[in-house]
A and B are shown apart, each in its own frame.
Chain A
Amino acid sequence: MSELKPRKDLLDIESLGLDEIEYVLGNAVPFKQLFQRSVKKVPTLRGKTVLNLFYEPSTRTSSSFEVAANRMSADVTNFSVSSSSIVKGESLLDTIETLQAMQSDYIVIRHQAAGVPNIVAKHTGASVINAGDGYHAHPTQALLDSMTFREVHPDYAGKRIAIVGDVLHSRVARSTSTLFHKQGIEVGVLGPGALIPEGRPDFMQRFQSWEDVFDWKPHAIYLLRVQMERQEGPFFPSIAEYHKMYGMNSERLVSMRKLGAYLMHPGPVNRGVEVTDEAMGYEKSLISTQVENGIAVRMAVLHWLKPETQMD
């Protein structure tokens, strides 16, 4: 493989080259093997600092980054800003100035406004890792999804993944579908019309029903979380109807089992909405593998990015 161009930030999937994706996913494998050892740490980032900056409540993603940074021997500071304390239009420049003063080498940022990580990245020498911004992007989620799918389908090119649910408000759908598409995996979507945006890329074909989805013979079904807090408009009549139309229930589980398709979900799952309790126990569910791979992928990302804060 030819030499990779050093990259400072990970802001989205769109701008990544296949060589970079392969590099990160390739490195994530040995990092994951590390988890089986008695000593789970590598000294790679000793003396470096990682700032976890979360403007949106998140336990899972922020913990995952924290564990990843710890296993790389970095010093981690968690800084969560409760959304209630944020004044709308709070000066981003002031925030960035504060961040600069903390001299972090890596800034992991989640923000409710799309594009904020881009602005932070422009104004700081630290490596900025986007941990989710508005509906825009969640690149480490996409990388962990890819790693997870490739573990069960090493010959992934030409495989098919059906994404089900609220694509409109989902940064996961955007990043994950973009990455799958870059890797030659076909992507289809199912969901209520108002939540499947017209402006989506052409490669995301839309299905009208579960029957159409199963006829397509997907290798995995990726259920999106219903973002109850983001339903600012009347997109579908009720949660019960959503479950009836789009949820993974026992009947659909039968079809899925017949196909041998895997089940994925970015978590946390709304039980009884996207997935019934029965479907949660599906033997081909990859949901907990996704969580585990999240740590490995985030270690690989920390290993890969090159902050401009370092003199050596």
Chain B
Amino acid sequence: MRLFKNGKIASGASPELVNADVLVNEDGVIVEVGPSLNGGDAEVTDCSGCVMVPGMFDLHVRGREPGFEHKETLKTCAAAALHGGITGVVLMPDTSPPIDSGNQLKSVQDRIVELGSIEMLQAGCLTAGRAGKELAGYSGLAALGVPMLTDSDRSIDCPDLLRRCMEYARDFDLLVTSHCETSALAKAGVVNEGRLSYRLGLPGLPAISQEISLVRDLALARHTGVRLHLQQISTGVSLDAVRLAKRAGVRVSCEVSPHHLMLSEEDITNYDTAFKIQPPLQKRENNEALLAGLLDDTIDVFASGHAPHTAFEKSADFGSAPWGASALETAVLAIYDRFIRVGKFNWDLLIRKYSSAPRQLVGLDPVAISMGEKANFFVFDVEAETKITPDYFRSKCSVSPFMEETFQGQFRETLIEKY
């Protein structure tokens, strides 16, 4: 038995924090929640100054297994997630080989069970081999409970193919997830096209690359009636299109990453490849638009877009270095420090958008800190602070645009009843 004393409990239902103790039994079940509990001989953890928060669920994570174990493994991915208050993830299928069939999916699912750590759901490909040529085997994927179909960071160029993907996915009521990019416009672009690309002399990637692809995907979703999820929205124009589509009844959801919410192209200095993330960081004014989109519920979920690479891979020049950074362990910290702490929004919004809403999108029940529930929460000390250094990371990848930042708040521990 463990007794968490003197903390405050957060929930998605209300911005108010509740002063209560939490008693968890040997089976990892919350047996009592209330003021001044007496746990008898339970091991007592003093949670003064701490908030207890239901576990986060991240829809956009790369575990890199199989095929890229030098970047990350499911084990290090799970450790990183737990370290960052995240108790469940959806794994992208951009592995080697890609997860485009029931057989591939089964082998990863077996590996996840063997690992027995956090809740990990493996996504499947939209097209065979993520090649954008023909449909992947949805029936086999669906039979094994695949949470979503996506070609990860590849957009399907051909609108006819995407239409057929959506029509077939609809038959299985599968969630189709798009990374919006128009390859003919994106070309070799590596930073947002504009002042920054001019100043750094790097090939620019215009914002219309995302916007055009996104509008096309919305039109196809409206036409086919499929459930569509849009990854990493980064501009106000994209958001406006989603807003209109939602009003028109299109079954669409979208996500934003903490990186895109907080950072802009202006933060890229001295060709630091930690800032080369997909899609490229945009103009500063988009940060405000994205925050507004969160507050008016146009944006449904937070997702980290965790894309680990080795330090060596990221040490290449900005143009050649791969896209992506470590994100699992900084997401909640950064959101707390920049938004919750300063009153832009409260814990309830974080819990809705980074726990209950993403869980709902993949068919999982929400988690809460209440009697009879399995323990699935993290203890967050709002009085301590955390400095982001390479040693901070449990992920194999410590490349982060937040390197050397100090955030208010510190993870004490994350509890999850063994999966």
Interface positions of A (Cβ within 8 A of B)? 14, 88-93, 111, 113-116, 118-119, 122, 133-137, 171, 174, 197-201, 232-233
Shortest distance between the CB of B194 and any CB in chain A (Å):
4
Shortest distance between the CB of A177 and any CB in chain B (Å):
11
Cβ contact of A199, chosen from B188, B195, B312, B321, cutoff 8 A: B195
Bound-state CA distance A233–B189 (Å) is 12
> B319, A118: Cβ atoms under 8 Å?
no
> A198, B194: Cβ atoms under 8 Å?
yes
Chain B, residue nearest A123 (CB) = B315
Contact with A along B256-293 (1 / 0, CB 8 A): 00000000000000110000000000000000000000
> B200, A115: Cβ atoms under 8 Å?
yes
Interface positions of B (Cβ within 8 A of A)? 187-188, 193-204, 270-271, 312, 315-321
> A171, B201: Cβ atoms under 8 Å?
yes
Residues in B neighbouring A115, C-beta threshold 8 A: 200, 202, 270-271, 317-319
Between A and B, 10 residue pairs with Cβ closer than 8 Å are A91-B315, A114-B200, A119-B271, A122-B270, A134-B319, A135-B201, A198-B194, A199-B204, A201-B195, A233-B187
Residues in B neighbouring A91, C-beta threshold 8 A: 312, 315-316
Residues in B neighbouring A93, C-beta threshold 8 A: 312, 315
Bound-state CA distance A119–B318 (Å) is 10
> B201, A92: Cβ atoms under 8 Å?
no
Residues in A neighbouring B271, C-beta threshold 8 A: 114-115, 118-119
Cβ contact of B318, chosen from A88, A114, A137, A199, cutoff 8 A: A114
Query: Taking A198-B194, A232-B187 as contacts, is the C-beta distance between A116 and B317 under 8 angstroms?
Result: yes
Shortest distance between the CB of A127 and any CB in chain B (Å):
18
Residues in B neighbouring A133, C-beta threshold 8 A: 201
Bound-state CA distance A33–B183 (Å) is 54
Cβ contact of B316, chosen from A92, A114, A118, A233, cutoff 8 A: A92
> A113, B317: Cβ atoms under 8 Å?
yes
> B312, A113: Cβ atoms under 8 Å?
no
Bound-state CA distance A81–B213 (Å) is 39
Bound-state CA distance A198–B187 (Å) is 18
Shortest distance between the CB of A107 and any CB in chain B (Å):
16
Residues in A neighbouring B200, C-beta threshold 8 A: 114-115, 136
Query: Taking A119-B317, A199-B193 as contacts, is the C-beta distance between A114 and B198 under 8 angstroms?
Result: no
Bound-state CA distance A89–B273 (Å) is 13
Residues in A neighbouring B193, C-beta threshold 8 A: 197, 199
Bound-state CA distance A255–B276 (Å) is 47
Main secondary structure of the interface of B (DSSP, over half): loop
Residues in B neighbouring A14, C-beta threshold 8 A: 199
Query: Taking A118-B271, A199-B195, A199-B204 as contacts, is the C-beta distance between A92 and B317 under 8 angstroms?
Result: yes
> B317, A135: Cβ atoms under 8 Å?
no
Cβ contact of A134, chosen from B194, B195, B196, B201, cutoff 8 A: B201
Chain A, residue nearest B195 (CB) = A199
Bound-state CA distance A119–B316 (Å) is 9
Cβ contact of B188, chosen from A90, A200, A232, cutoff 8 A: A232
Shortest distance between the CB of B381 and any CB in chain A (Å):
36
Bound-state CA distance A71–B312 (Å) is 39
Bound-state CA distance A118–B317 (Å) is 9
Bound-state CA distance A181–B190 (Å) is 28
Shortest distance between the CB of B207 and any CB in chain A (Å):
12
> B315, A174: Cβ atoms under 8 Å?
no
Bound-state CA distance A201–B199 (Å) is 9
Cβ contact of B197, chosen from A88, A122, A199, cutoff 8 A: A199
Bound-state CA distance A115–B315 (Å) is 12
Chain B, residue nearest A116 (CB) = B317
> B316, A174: Cβ atoms under 8 Å?
no
Residues in B neighbouring A88, C-beta threshold 8 A: 320
Bound-state CA distance A135–B318 (Å) is 13
Residues in A neighbouring B315, C-beta threshold 8 A: 91-93, 119
Bound-state CA distance A136–B197 (Å) is 9
Query: Taking A92-B315, A93-B315, A113-B318 as contacts, is the C-beta distance between A199 and B270 under 8 angstroms?
Result: no
Residues in A neighbouring B198, C-beta threshold 8 A: 174, 197, 199-201
Q: Which of B201, B271, B316 has the most CB of A within 10 A?
A: B201
Residues in B neighbouring A89, C-beta threshold 8 A: 316, 320-321
Residues in B neighbouring A92, C-beta threshold 8 A: 315-317
Bound-state CA distance A135–B188 (Å) is 13
Bound-state CA distance A224–B7 (Å) is 67
> B319, A114: Cβ atoms under 8 Å?
yes
Query: Taking A88-B320, A233-B187 as contacts, is the C-beta distance between A137 and B201 under 8 angstroms?
Result: yes
Query: Taking A88-B320, A91-B316, A233-B187 as contacts, is the C-beta distance between A114 and B201 under 8 angstroms?
Result: yes
Bound-state CA distance A308–B241 (Å) is 54
Query: Taking A113-B318, A118-B270 as contacts, is the C-beta distance between A134 and B202 under 8 angstroms?
Result: yes
Given contacts A119-B271, A199-B196, 15 further A-B contacts (CB under 8 A): A89-B320, A89-B321, A91-B312, A114-B317, A114-B319, A115-B271, A115-B317, A119-B315, A135-B203, A137-B201, A174-B201, A197-B204, A199-B194, A199-B195, A201-B198
Bound-state CA distance A91–B316 (Å) is 6
Bound-state CA distance A233–B270 (Å) is 28
Chain B, residue nearest A171 (CB) = B201
Chain B, residue nearest A202 (CB) = B195
Shortest distance between the CB of B313 and any CB in chain A (Å):
8
Bound-state CA distance A201–B198 (Å) is 9
Cβ contact of A113, chosen from B194, B196, B197, B319, cutoff 8 A: B319
Bound-state CA distance A200–B187 (Å) is 20
Shortest distance between the CB of B61 and any CB in chain A (Å):
24
> A136, B316: Cβ atoms under 8 Å?
no
Residues in A neighbouring B320, C-beta threshold 8 A: 88-90, 113
Residues in A neighbouring B270, C-beta threshold 8 A: 115, 118, 122
Residues in A neighbouring B321, C-beta threshold 8 A: 89
Bound-state CA distance A137–B195 (Å) is 15
Chain A, residue nearest B201 (CB) = A136
Shortest distance between the CB of B285 and any CB in chain A (Å):
14
Shortest distance between the CB of A229 and any CB in chain B (Å):
14
Bound-state CA distance A223–B328 (Å) is 50
Bound-state CA distance A31–B259 (Å) is 51
Chain A, residue nearest B313 (CB) = A89
Bound-state CA distance A136–B188 (Å) is 15
